[in-house]
Each structure stands twice: as C-alpha cells, then as structure tokens.
Structure 1
Amino acid sequence: MTARTGVALEWRDGPTVTGDHGGLDLAVPYRMEERLWESGGSPGAGRAMPVLTAIGERFGRERPLEGLRIAACLHVTAETAVLMGALKAGGAQIALAASNPLSTQDDVAEALRSYDIAVHARAGVDRATYYRHIHQALDLAPDLVLDDGCDLVNILHTERTDLLGGVSGGCEETTTGIIRLRQMAAEGALRFPMVAVNDTRTKRMFDNRYGTGQSTLDGIMRATNLMLAGRTVIVAGFGYCGRGVAERAKGLGARVIVTEIDPVKALDASLQGYEVRPMESAALVGDLFITVTGNRDVIRAEHLALMRDGAILANAGHFDVEIDVRALEEMAVSLNQGVRPNTDEYVLADGRRLLLLAEGRLVNLTAAEGHPAAVMDMSFSAQALAVAWLAAERLNLAPGVYDVPEDIDVEVARLKLAATGIEIDRLTADQEDYLHSWRTGS
C-alpha cells in the first residue's frame, strides 16, 4: 500500500466547522489534528473527518467513557487514529490490534503509542503474530470491545474465556463479523451485547457502497494499470459492497456480470441491467474477478481451471478466504511474485497465467489506501456514538446483537450534511400531523 511517513497526532486550538448543528458545537477549540509530513504537505485525515472530530470534542467535555477499558481490533490507519483520539478524549483507556496486517500503517501505530494508546500491530506480520497481537490487546482486560471481523470476539469466547465476565458489550464494524455474531447469538453462545455498526443506513450507503466501490477499483488499477473500459468484470456478491463495485466498474465502461446465491439480490442485479450467471459460467468469460461476499471459497479450483489466460483475481470481501489461494498454489507449476506491486503471477501447467492481487487479501486496503477519510468519518462517527450509547446502556442489555439506535444514524447523517453545507427541508406542523395521526383522512 502507499506508504505514509512522519505521521504525528496533536491536540490543538482552532475552529472546525462553525454553526449550530443540533447541540453539537463544532467550533469548540479542542481538536485532534492528524498531519502527514509528506512532500507537498498532504492534509491530515482529521481535516476530512469533521463530524468525528466534533464528536471527539464533545467527548472531551462530557467524558462518557471515563474509566472504561476498550480493546479494539481494527485497521490501523490514519482514519482509525481519529476514532481512537475521540474515544481517548471521552476518557477511555485503549489497546488496539490490527484487523489486517497488510493495511497497518506503522507510522500511525507509532504516533498513537506516543499518545498513550497501546498499539499491538505491525505491517505484514504472519498469522501467528496477528493472533498474538489480538491476545496482547485483550490483556488490557477490557470493559468494551471494538471488532472488525469478529476475530477478537471469537478469541474471547474460545481462548480467553477468563475475561468474559468483565466484558459488558462491544461494537462490530463488518458484514462478516455480524454474520458470525448473529450465529453465536442464535446458538446461545454470545455472552455480551454487541452493536451491529455495519447495519446502519449511513454505513451501508456511504461506507459499503460508495467507499468500497471507489477504493476497490482504485486498488485494482494501482496494482495492474488495467483499463476497465471494454473488459468483462465478474463481481461475486451483490450486497451493498458488491453493488458499489459493480456500479463503479460499469461507470468506467466495463461489461459487468454478477454472481449470487441470494435470489432476491440476483433479481435486483438483473433489474438494474447486470447479467447474472453462476460462477462456473462466469469463469469462462471474465477478465477481472472481484469477490465481495464475506464468505469463503467463492472462487475455487474448478473455477480457476476454466479461466482465461491473464485473468485477474481480486478480493474486496473480508480476510483472504474468498479466493481459494491454496488451490491456486497447488495448481501452479511456477510463481512469479511481484510482477507488479501487489501482483503475483501464477503459471499453470497448460501455460495459462492467473494474476492474484494483494495475496487474496483486501485489495482496497493493500494495493490502495482504503476508503477516503470522508467515508470513514461517517462509519467511525456512528461507531463512536454507539460506544457512548453502549457505555450508558450496557448494564441494561442482555447478550445479543443490537442495531444502532435510529437517532444516532440520523444524527450522523444530519451532521455530515451540515459539515458539507447541504440544507434539507423540514416537516411542517401539518405534515407531522398527517404522518402521525390515523384520524386524518387523505
């Protein structure tokens, strides 16, 4: 991924966005500013995250997390640093592990450590070290947890059960993690309440659809220099992330084919004008394959055996399990690593070459820089407010998976509109009555 050098975090005086935005004063002179000391003086993530910065300012005044210990397993990036700053401003003691070693920015980790946030992460570590870092974060004996993929929660329930009694709640950031949590809850295995941050309307719309769509194609084009116009792009999965990827690829002139297992999503894709096929059929015609499902083995040996010479494989789902990389390794007679940055060429016995991007890990975080900071402003603002809500309500909640309260979702959207200078209409008194009184006729 693109290196970011010389990151420093500082609290400084200075206004952000002025004005009355529903009781959240955006001009309070208490701000965490993330700066990147690069040639040309790139602006920091904090400047593109006005809502989360303002929430951090409010947390600094109200201290809703005073005395709480939070263990987090998230992507260690500059955007996450702004979230960590907001939680720390709220009074939390934090230990952070990486949810993906290939997305870890070592300079960000060092900067956070200098602000007394324990970071257990290093770019490019192996699987054993990845899990060791999660254990080290859990050594904090957390009251609350933040997860991105459910690995931290899984370890709590399998290997660190001694800590379960002290954990009173947490938040989950991804579709994959929420799928796992709901299964745990259905089986009666989940021992504390978890908030499904991924399932807010703002997160699905802004982060999953627009963020993943843009950053995935950004990573693919950086890794391959591929012109998408006229190419056949196979998008596996038509959830919010897959929809965003398909829309962006189509907008760049690609012929897009969708594969799905869900009849409703497949019908939706078809009605939006996409061709829908099983992967076995799509494998014969695809130039670029992008998995966006949150499941494993979406592209398997039988699909690899059908692909054209030069086909490109990329994953934008979760972890490195969506493409069966082990099967690809077993089929290959030789491997040319790094034919381009983040691109490995697997040569098969019949001479065909298949190109795997980012080792099958998240291409948008490995070959590019992930979502723009403006996208993460929405997701992490919902996360921060959900943590504060959970801190207040956790003792009243039974174990299970909970939606983010609707008023938090609406507040995040309203604040984002205000920060970008967009105004919307308000209901009149008569309109309110019409919507809420059944006695009013048509």
Structure 2
Amino acid sequence: METFETARLDRYFRAVTHTGNPVGADTRSLVITHLLADRPPFIRAVDRITPVAGVLPKPKSVHRAAARTVGLAYSVDELSRDRFTDPDAACAYLEQRAAGQAVVLLDVGGYFAPVLAELCDRFSGRILGVVEDTENGHRRYLELGKPPCAVYSVARSPLKQSEDHLVGQSIVFSTEALMRSRGDILPGRAATVVGFGKLGSSIARTLHAKGVRVTVYDADPVRATQALAQGFHVAASRPAALATAGMVMCATGNLALRGEDFTGLANGAYLASVTSSEDELELDTLTGVYEQSVVAEHVIRYTTIGHYFYLLASGNAVNFLHGASVGAFIFLVQAEILAAAARCASGEVEPGYHEVPEADRRRIAEIWLAHFNPPGAHR
C-alpha cells in the first residue's frame, strides 16, 4: 500500500475504535489473520482496543512486506491446525504469550474451536471471547453446542455480503489467470460449482456473466432449489456434476471432493478451491495413485492410467495468489471484527453466540462511507 493509503486506513480505524472506554491493563488479544498488504493498520487497530500478544498468520496468505512490518512491532508465530487441536500445545502457547491475562481470540476458520473448552478451563488467565470471521469457522463454533465463553461471528453479517460477492469474483479472476498461463480460457468450457452458499453463488453468477455454462451441485436441497430459481442447471448427484465439467470450483468449506470423487473428474478438467486444501479436498488419498507434475506456475497435473486433471494453487484458495483483493469493502468487515473484539474485551458478555448490534453496524457503515465513498456520491 502507498503511504497515503495506509494513512487513510489508519484514520478510518481510529474513527471506528474511538469509544472512550479503554480496557483493563491485563487484557490481551491473539490474532489469527490473513497477513495481506492491508493488514498492518488493522492489527494496529486491534492493539488500540486490547494489546496484541501474538499474531498468527494463515500460512498460505502472507505478504512479505506486511509480515516484516508486523514483525517489528508484535510477536509473529507459526499457525497450524495441530497447535490448536492438541489442548496441551494450545494451552502452552497461551501461557507463553498471555499468562494470567484476560484474552480475546480473533479467529479466521475456527482454529480455536477444538480446544476452546480446554482453554477456558485450564488457562491461567481468562478467555473473554472469540471473534470469528468466516462461514467455515462459524460452523465449527456452532458444533460446540453452548460455548464456554462469548463467541461473536461476523460471517453472516450484512456488512460481509459485499465482501462475499467480490471474493467470488476474485476467485474466478485468479482461476482464469492460471488457466491462461497454459493457453486455456473459461469461455467454451462447462463449469461445475460444488456448494451454493455465499461464495459458491457468487462464483456461479460471475462464471455465467463470462459466458460459461454453469452446473451447480449442493447436497442441501434448499440451496439446490435456490440455484435452480436463479437459472442454473442443478445436478442430482456429485458424480453427475463432475462428469462433463471442464472446470470444477469447490466452495463448501467441508470436503467438497473426497478420494473416490477425483476419478469422476473429466479428463483435462481444472480443479480450484475457495479455501485451504485440508478443508476442501481429500488430496492425500491420491498419493501413490496419481503422478504429479508441475506444468505451469501454480498448476499441477495429476496423472494416472487413462485419467488426468489439473489442480490449481495446490488445492488452496486460488484468489490469494493475486492478493485476494476486494477493495475497500474488506474494511467494513474488519471494523465489525473490531467492534466485536471491543465488546468481548469489556468482560461483560455472557457465554453464548452473539452478533454485533445493528446500531454498531450502521455506525461502521457511515464511517466507511465518509472515508471510502467517492466525494459527492453519498448524501
């Protein structure tokens, strides 16, 4: 980001976080985040609400310059699912970074969910709450039943709808960019979108606008009817959806393709995901069955006797190869995360699932419009 852009973003976050209600000196935050180019101002804003004890970047989305900037001011630690599926490892990490402190956990993808009860029970400090950003993570926390602390989710917020729509567009952009590196294009290919949630529906509409024939498969019959109502062909089964598709976009966040599904891909099909491979694709079942060869940057051909397909970005979210940019709309979501973090940091929120009040969302939207809407466009 250019200096003036960073300065404007800092001003925006200062306006968002200015509440006049500082938290106690013994309160800290741990932040899981996509450490992209625009993230340092956001982390500084978190630090104004409650001092940041540690930053855990999602490993597949780290911008080097942003990592250097954040690393100069904060402890930056390695993030892995293993660290937060083992209660002993998770507790040891919290004790290392925030022993005896009250802590707010900022999450992207439900990393803290498997050990949240243990953390609340064993940590020498106090877990004030969790703020979750994604739909995938939102579902992981819902699976806990009644959580042992406050859990805020912005995944289904109205302020996130613009981001979800634009993320779908960025996924299609990056997918086509990788295909073009091999001399292929999207138009003329049949595409299948697996999952018709917020991202899947955006991907389907974007592909349709590019002249691509789109088939949708969703195991949820309600979403299948929604796809049909929007004019998409809806496959009755996953094998039927995959059989003739030259491009398959996986957007479930919950293992869109398992081992037996890969053999059902059409020869020469491209396969792309909207999230990490561990959440979307059961790739380890292909070891020893398919040979892998790099045929272009971020494009791997999987080949076995009589069958081959192309995997993009090693099965991880393709849009992060090109910055995953959704413009200034991401700052709406980040501001709501900050508002939720401030509520957790107050220490006054009961255990359970919570949303940021509508009044807070309206205030955020008004501040955002004042900072990022073109002059004269908003009255």
Question: TM-score with structure 2 length normalisation?
Answer: 0.87
CA distance in 2, matches of 1:106, 1:404: 32
Q: Does 1:90 align with 2:46?
A: no
Q: Which of 45, 59, 64 pairs up with 1:101?
A: 59
CA contact (8 A) 1:69 1:94 kept: yes
Give the Å deviation of 1:238: 0.9
Counting aligned pairs with the same residue, the percent is 22
CA contact (8 A) 1:79 1:376 kept: no
Give the Å deviation of 1:78: 2.1
Question: Residues 173 and 362 (structure 1 numbering): CA distance in 2 closer, same or farther, change over 3 Å?
Answer: same
**Which residue number in structure 2 is paired with residue 356 of structure 1?**
311
Q: Hey, which bits of structure 1, 4+ residues long, moved more than 4 A?
A: 125-138, 158-161
Question: Residues 171 and 155 (structure 1 numbering): CA distance in 2 closer, same or farther, change over 3 Å?
Answer: same
CA contact (8 A) 1:313 1:356 kept: yes
CA distance in 1, matches of 2:287, 2:350: 45
Give the Å deviation of 1:309: 1.5
Give the Å deviation of 1:106: 3.0
Q: Which of 192, 195, 199 pairs up with 1:241?
A: 199
Q: Does 1:214 align with 2:169?
A: yes
Q: Does 1:194 align with 2:148?
A: no
Q: Does 1:170 align with 2:112?
A: no
CA contact (8 A) 2:276 2:315 kept: no
Q: Which of 261, 274, 281 pairs up with 1:316?
A: 274
CA distance in 2, matches of 1:360, 1:271: 30
**Which residue number in structure 1 is paired with residue 108 of structure 2?**
148
Give the Å deviation of 1:91: 5.0
CA distance in 1, matches of 2:242, 2:220: 19
CA distance in 2, matches of 1:415, 1:320: 37
Q: CA RMSD in A?
A: 2.8
Q: Does 1:401 align with 2:353?
A: yes
CA contact (8 A) 1:71 1:138 kept: no
Question: TM-score with structure 1 length normalisation?
Answer: 0.75
**Which residue number in structure 2 is paired with residue 26 of structure 1?**
none
Q: Which of 291, 303, 307 pairs up with 2:250?
A: 291
Deviates more, 1:257-266 or 1:130-139: 130-139
Q: Which of 358, 363, 368 pairs up with 1:416?
A: 368
Question: Which sections of structure 1, spanning at least 5 residues, go unmatched?
Answer: 1-33, 37-42, 425-442
Give the Å deviation of 1:221: 2.3
Q: Which of 318, 324, 327 pairs up with 1:370?
A: 324
1:294-309 matched pairs, under 5 angstroms = 294-296=253-255, 298-309=256-267
**Which residue number in structure 2 is paired with residue 255 of structure 1?**
213
Q: Does 1:119 align with 2:107?
A: no
Give the Å deviation of 1:306: 2.2
Q: Which of 391, 397, 404 pairs up with 2:345?
A: 391
Equivalent position amino acid for 1:267 in 2:
T
**Which residue number in structure 1 is paired with residue 296 of structure 2?**
340
Could you list the per-position Cα deviations for residues 115-139 of structure 1 after superposition, in whole angstroms to 9, with x for gaps in the alignment?
A: x222114xxx887689899764663
Give the Å deviation of 1:360: 1.4
Could you list the per-position Cα deviations for residues 60-94 of structure 1 after superposition, in whole angstroms to 9, with x for gaps in the alignment?
A: 68363463200111111122222101122335233
Larger Rg: 1
Q: Which of 333, 338, 341 pairs up with 1:379?
A: 333
Question: Residues 302 and 339 (structure 1 numbering): CA distance in 2 closer, same or farther, change over 3 Å?
Answer: same
CA distance in 2, matches of 1:275, 1:233: 11
Deviates more, 1:68-77 or 1:213-222: 213-222
Give the Å deviation of 1:182: 1.1
Equivalent position amino acid for 1:404 in 2:
V
CA distance in 2, matches of 1:412, 1:423: 15
Give the Å deviation of 1:240: 0.9
CA contact (8 A) 1:385 1:408 kept: yes
CA distance in 1, matches of 2:355, 2:82: 33
Equivalent position amino acid for 1:168 in 2:
L
CA contact (8 A) 2:17 2:48 kept: yes
Could you list the per-position Cα deviations for residues 374-425 of structure 1 after superposition, in whole angstroms to 9, with x for gaps in the alignment?
A: 1311110111122123323x32x3221112211222223333333314335x
CA contact (8 A) 2:38 2:66 kept: no
